[in-house]
Structure 1
Amino acid sequence: MKLSSLLPNHLIPENSKTLEITSISSDSREVIAGTLFFALSGTRLEGANFVKEAIAKGAVAIVSEKEIFSLLEISIPIIHVENATTLLSLCAYKLATPLPDHLIAITGTNGKTSTADFLRQIWALQEKEAASIGTLGIRATTGDIEASHTTPPPVFLAKYLHQLKETGVNHVALEASSHGLVQNRLKGLFFEAVGFTSFSRDHLDYHKTEENYLTAKLTLFKELRQKNAPIVAATACGTTVIEALRKIADETHAPLRTVGKNGNFLNLIETSPLPDGQLLTISFQGQKSISVHLPIPGIFQAQNALLAIALACPNTADESEIYHLLKLLPQLKPIPGRAQFAGKTQNGANVYIDYAHTPDAIERIVESLRPHLKPKGKLFIVFGAGGNRDKGKRPLMGQAANLADFVIVTDDNPRFEDPDLIRKEVLNGCKKAIEIADRKEAIAYALKQLQEGDILLIAGKGHEKGQEIQGKILPFDDFLLAQQLGKLTQGAF
């Protein structure tokens, strides 16, 4: 593609407009012949320091926000812009065309992964080639790919989307993280529907205030939708979020669909626990109600499933289509590390794994599992808090864990912090908890306490296969460890 097709013409020197661009990168290690190199200013590294290396590897033009005076003698064009990160995203998606035709994005504090994966499954059940991109990587009907970010950087996301299109995938559900939105990783994509799962405190180590955090989330709805694309939100998001979305919907003449309890699109009238999930009673836009089996526990998972249903039909709201989609819910599969049933102990207690790592998420999963207790059964939780993240939420996580009957505070991913101090901060919110530093020992201890009818929830790490300690990722899998230590068997939960 010609440079003039990627960048605004007024930015490009006249003799450089016909340059052929073969790739885009902000990482000098990824540069090949024909690369347009973006010298970005990062928190740790300065892109301008890698310009010479990029040129040596074949870069044919440089984009930078800074004047690179020391390189003025270089023959290739150096293009100065005000917002290089935004331009990088725009160029990456333009160069990667064609992309899948049907892109849908989901944001929210908790529930993004479940909603995106449920949507992928719903598409697949309709025999559509589909994928989800997010915390679990890329999951597609054509095969899975590991990815390191909830919302991958634009160069990589553009490549993934193009590869999916080339393999026949035309429907993609994408998780939009607040970090990714602030960093403009999705700039240049326009979604045919957007969803909001939930909102509560998280990532204040990055955003500083909840107001900034919400503003980041709302970027998806203000700037990245196709014209008149529907806005879909779970009623559990709360009044502040719903009203903010309503204002955006009114200003852009877009429909606002709410799902969950008292939802205007899909109303979750009632949930009843079953031995193998839950029975949902649902009505569509106030019409007749139907009862559907969802083979996954948790009211929050019921809301995520309904959000996925509403997103699966962005251009229509036909009653027959909606009820057809609702009847697919019994076929949904559990998602790794999300209210995931790990198995049953020899004496009849059930064990679950969940990614809950915020106060709100812990509260929701504990409340959702309690109806599945047998008479006289107790609910146990093993959890910790991650290091080098929002410290203020730690005692709040402890307070949320108080909803369980028996609490064990242990290590999560301490990263570069002192794990003893992290645990103490969590324990400040939960005085009744037992402290067991070693996560394996904590899980083993909890398993030994279980009696028939009890439930053990191992929270915080979910699908993760490692534990981050002092810059190293050590093998650790809550799901497999619980199965091995507890000699768990499968079957109805």
Structure 2
Amino acid sequence: MRLKKILKEIGHNADRYVDIDIKGISDNSKYVREGFLFLALKGERLDGYDFIQEAIDRGARVVVSYKDFIAPCGVVKIIVENKREVASDIACAYFENPSRRLKIVGITGTNGKTTTSYLISNIFEQAGFGTGLIGTINYKIGNRTIPAVNTTPGAIELQGYLSEMLGDGLEFVVMEVSSHSLQQERVRNIKFSSAVFTNITQDHLDYHKTFEDYFEAKARLFNLLEEGARAVINIDDEYGKRLMESLKTKPITYGIKADSDIKSKIHKMDIGGSIFEVLSPYGKFEIKTKLIGLHNIYNIMAAIGVGILFGIEEEHIKKGVETLEGVKGRLEELSYGQPFKVFIDYAHTDDALRNILGILKPLTRGRLIVVFGCGGDRDRAKRPLMGRVATEFADYVIITNDNPRSEEPTLIANEICNGFIDNFRNYTVILDRYSAIKEALRVAKNDDIVVIAGKGHETYQVLKDKVIHFDDKEVVESILLNKA
């Protein structure tokens, strides 16, 4: 890609600069190679300006910076405003806007994005469409799977992945779209063929400050829809109703309580899954799923709505839903011959925790034992809320570390405990997560259910001064097999 072409695409004066061939682009100096364009912008934690020399040493031929610097001979210097749009615009231009030639479905909401994305992807694949996936667990590009760093990658990585998907001949991309990515303009130049709103509950208020700001960040996705494209919205959620009323094009709606386009009549819901009847623009049909709980019925309705929007036949929708047996770290049952049940789940908000405990409590013949913590340097207001939810449902609670980051773990635990219902005494605090899980498995008896919440699919733990390998599933397996 020629430099002048990129500059013209982003509306910058190309005539002032010598035209050279750009071999790649990066905003991380460590990934710069010979002939690269380096973006030296100021982020929330790091300042790209501080890494200009390293990028040049690694072979950068063009440096785009928000602050002037002395460029050595052979390096093109371009000064721009320090705006988040710059990275998105340059990435879009360099990769020639791949989203124009893909059908992209964006999913936003506090809870349910990952499972909904897997369901939609499965529906498209059952219908014979090559489908890419970008989300919290991983990025799937053809036969290649990349562990996810962020729910939605940075603008440069995102455009690069979309370009790869296009090159692999994929037709659809299903993408989880976080509120952070919308606020930070990472998805600014992507045109979405449809967008899904699952729900909104308290989360990320450390970043967005107010719930209204959080909602408005989520709602930005629907401004990125292609002309005439339709959304799929949960109108059992009050904010979903509000969003629906703001859209120019009538969405497909879903819900159980509300008068919606897609509804469900539940026949059976237990620890083995659900059987329910779907009433939709396609008529009535039955769904049998191994996904547990009411929240997953909502996720399935969202996926059905997307399938209908794209004209996928009922048999492919039904098969796409019913063949998805589970999602890693989402109410995932771990069975190693023990006489009690163990589940791990990513639930890290009070609403998500309420969903899973509300499902499991009526199905628990013994005690419901819950192990969880809350992340450090994140929304503090949800800590007592999660504490309250845990004590409303659980018979025994073990408070432990999640990803404490730079915060004092004891203070995080205290803030969780401040939300406990009155007179709840059946709990303990064991900050070491391995020891907490081991204790839960030690005290569990026949017919008990142990829930280990907060991390789900994650394979790391962020401590004050380091990141260590930590996988709840591996820990449970090692303890139970050693017990056996």
TM-score by length of 1: 0.88
Q: How much does 1:71 deviate?
A: 2.4
- Helix, strand or coil: the match of 2:226? coil
- Cα separation, 2, equivalents of 1:53 and 1:466: 29
Q: What is residue 351 of structure 2 aligned with on the other side? A: 360
Q: How much does 1:16 deviate?
A: 2.3
Q: What is residue 117 of structure 1 aligned with on the other side? A: 118
After superposition, where does 1:192-271 map in structure 2 within 5 Å?
192-222=193-223, 224-236=224-236, 238-239=237-238, 241-249=239-247, 252-262=248-258, 264-270=260-266
- Cα separation, 2, equivalents of 1:51 and 1:363: 48
Q: How much does 1:369 deviate?
A: 2.1
Residue from 367, 375, 379 that aligns with 1:378: 367
Q: What is residue 404 of structure 1 aligned with on the other side? A: 394
Q: How much does 1:132 deviate?
A: 1.5
- Cα separation, 2, equivalents of 1:273 and 1:420: 38
- What letter is aligned with 1:299? L
Q: How much does 1:260 deviate?
A: 4.5
- Cα separation, 2, equivalents of 1:75 and 1:422: 52
Please state if 1:277 is matched with 2:273. Answer: yes
Q: Kindly tell me: are residues 271 and 160 of structure 1, through their superposed partners in 2, closer, same or farther at Cα, counting changes over 3 Å? A: farther
Q: What is residue 480 of structure 1 aligned with on the other side? A: 474
Bigger shift: residues 255-264 or 157-166: 255-264
Deviations 1:459-485 (A, max 9, x none): 011011122222322232212222332
Q: What is residue 3 of structure 2 aligned with on the other side? A: 3
Deviations 1:159-206 (A, max 9, x none): 222223323333211111111111111111111011112211111111
Q: How much does 1:288 deviate?
A: 4.6
After superposition, where does 1:96-111 map in structure 2 within 5 Å?
96-97=95-96, 98=98, 101-111=102-112
Q: Kindly tell me: are residues 346 and 253 of structure 1, through their superposed partners in 2, closer, same or farther at Cα, counting changes over 3 Å? A: closer
Q: How much does 1:265 deviate?
A: 2.4
Identity, in percent, stands at: 34
Please state if 1:443 is matched with 2:437. Answer: yes
Q: What is residue 91 of structure 2 aligned with on the other side? A: 92
Q: How much does 1:30 deviate?
A: 2.4
How many pairs does the alignment contain? Answer: 475
The answer as to whether partners of 1:343 and 1:488 remain within 8 angstroms in 2 is: no
- Helix, strand or coil: the match of 2:254? strand
Q: How much does 1:131 deviate?
A: 2.4
- Cα separation, 2, equivalents of 1:104 and 1:21: 30
Q: What is residue 338 of structure 2 aligned with on the other side? A: 346
- Cα separation, 1, equivalents of 2:82 and 2:222: 21
- What letter is aligned with 1:360? D
- Cα separation, 2, equivalents of 1:344 and 1:385: 27
- Cα separation, 1, equivalents of 2:410 and 2:57: 48
Q: What is residue 303 of structure 1 aligned with on the other side? A: 298
The answer as to whether partners of 1:228 and 1:255 remain within 8 angstroms in 2 is: no
- Cα separation, 2, equivalents of 1:371 and 1:271: 17
Bigger shift: residues 305-314 or 225-234: 305-314
- Cα separation, 2, equivalents of 1:370 and 1:39: 52
After superposition, where does 1:144-223 map in structure 2 within 5 Å?
144-222=145-223
Q: How much does 1:233 deviate?
A: 1.9
- Cα separation, 1, equivalents of 2:169 and 2:256: 33
Q: Kindly tell me: are residues 95 and 125 of structure 1, through their superposed partners in 2, closer, same or farther at Cα, counting changes over 3 Å? A: same
- Cα separation, 2, equivalents of 1:413 and 1:210: 23
The answer as to whether partners of 2:235 and 2:253 remain within 8 angstroms in 1 is: no
- Cα separation, 1, equivalents of 2:231 and 2:217: 16
- What letter is aligned with 1:247? E
Q: How much does 1:310 deviate?
A: 1.6
Q: What is residue 24 of structure 2 aligned with on the other side? A: 23
Deviations 1:100-145 (A, max 9, x none): 6121111111111111122222222223222211111213551311
The answer as to whether partners of 2:32 and 2:60 remain within 8 angstroms in 1 is: yes
Bigger shift: residues 71-80 or 44-53: 71-80
- Cα separation, 1, equivalents of 2:266 and 2:66: 54
- Cα separation, 1, equivalents of 2:343 and 2:56: 52
**Structure 1 portions without partners, runs of 5+:** none
**Structure 2 portions without partners, runs of 5+:** none
- Cα separation, 1, equivalents of 2:452 and 2:446: 18
- Helix, strand or coil: the match of 1:205? helix
Please state if 1:369 is matched with 2:365. Answer: no
Q: What is residue 42 of structure 1 aligned with on the other side? A: 43
- Cα separation, 1, equivalents of 2:482 and 2:294: 25
RMSD, aligned CA:
2.6
